[in-house]
């Protein structure tokens, strides 16, 4: 599925952030990288067709805080939450908040599947995207 907007990559790890931005550009997506949820929320550069790819655990505004802040402001852009830790009860929160959950490490195919899921809004048709399988 084509994405008309931009993918906002929010991750405090510069290697992860840059790698994801390069991979997404290679796959044909327009991207903008952010080193923190705080900076992203301060500028709030969302267009109506943009999606957000955000790390769950970061200093300051973490991924869950970014989601909650956007939802409180009535911004419902598709969100992909990346996490390497399944012990935080994110899956329970996920079912109530309509975001796509992507477990690290993940493949290019899993990332593309997560983008498709986020854009189509079909969150409940699949399980959270794990690295295995």
Q: What is the mean pLDDT of residues 106-116?
A: 92
Q: In this predicted structure, what is the pLDDT of residue 103?
A: 86
Kindly report, residue by residue over 75-109, the tens digit of the pLDDT.
Answer: 989 999 998 876 655 555 544 457 888 888 899 99
Q: Is a pLDDT exceeding 50 seen at residue 128?
A: no
Coil, helix or strand at residue 111: helix
How far CA 53 is from CA of 12, 77, in Å, comes to: 12, 11
Q: Is a pLDDT exceeding 70 seen at residue 127?
A: no
Kindly report, residue by residue over 18-46, the tens digit of the pLDDT.
Answer: 999 999 999 999 999 999 999 999 998 89
Domain parsing of the chain, residue ranges? 6-125
Q: In this predicted structure, what is the pLDDT of residue 83?
A: 86
Phi, psi (rounded to 5 degrees) for 79 = -130, 135
Q: In this predicted structure, what is the pLDDT of residue 6?
A: 94
Strand 100-103 with 6-10, pairing? unpaired
Q: In this predicted structure, what is the pLDDT of residue 99?
A: 81
Cα 78 from Cα 40, distance rounded (Å): 15
The class level of CATH for 6-125 reads alpha beta
Spatial contact of 123 and 81, defined as CB atoms under 8 Å apart: no
Burial class (CB in 10 A: 0-12, 13-18, 19+), 31: middle
Q: In this predicted structure, what is the pLDDT of residue 10?
A: 97
Spatial contact of 95 and 76, defined as CB atoms under 8 Å apart: no
């Amino acid at each position: 599925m084509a994405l008309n907007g931009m993918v906002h990559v929010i991750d405090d790890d510069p290697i992860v952030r840059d790698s994801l931005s390069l991979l997404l550009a290679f796959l044909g997506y327009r991207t903008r990288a952010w080193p923190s949820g705080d900076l992203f929320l301060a500028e709030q550069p969302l267009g109506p067709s943009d999606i957000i790819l955000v790390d769950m655990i970061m200093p300051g505004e973490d991924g869950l805080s970014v989601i909650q802040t956007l939802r409180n402001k009535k911004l419902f852009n598709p969100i992909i939450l990346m996490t390497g830790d399944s012990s935080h009860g994110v899956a329970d929160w996920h079912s109530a908040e309509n975001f796509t959950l992507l477990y690290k490490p993940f493949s290019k195919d899993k990332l593309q599947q997560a983008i498709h899921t986020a854009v189509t809004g079909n969150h409940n048709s699949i399980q959270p995207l794990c690295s295995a399988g």
